[in-house]
Amino acid sequence: MKTYMILFIVVFLMHGMTLVNVTLFDGDWNGIVLMISNLLFLVACVLFGAEFRAHRRAKG
C-alpha cells in the first residue's frame, strides 16, 4: 500500500473518531479519543519516516 494512502486513512480515522465522539457521545470520551489520535499520529510519522529513509537510500 502506498504511503500517502496510509496517511490518508490515518487522517480519516482521526477526524472520524473526533466527529463520532462529539456527535454521538457529546464529548464524553475526549481523553480516549485524544490518546488514540496521538498514537495514530505517531504511527503515521514512523511509517512516513521509514518510507522517506528507504526512498532516500534507494536514490543515493
Rg, the chain, Cα only: 15
Q: Report residue 60's pLDDT band, with 50, 70 and 90 as the boundaries.
A: confident
- pLDDT at residue 28, rounded to an integer: 96
Nearest CA to 50 out of 17, 12, 1, 3 is that of 3
CA distance linking residue 50 with residue 60, whole number of Å: 15
Per-residue pLDDT reduced to its tens digit, 14-56: 999 999 999 999 999 999 999 999 999 999 999 999 999 999 9
Contact 1, 51 (CB under 8 A): no
- pLDDT at residue 2, rounded to an integer: 86
- pLDDT at residue 1, rounded to an integer: 77
- pLDDT at residue 11, rounded to an integer: 95
User: Which residues lie below 8 Å from residue 27, measured CB to CB, with a gap of 6+?
Assistant: 21
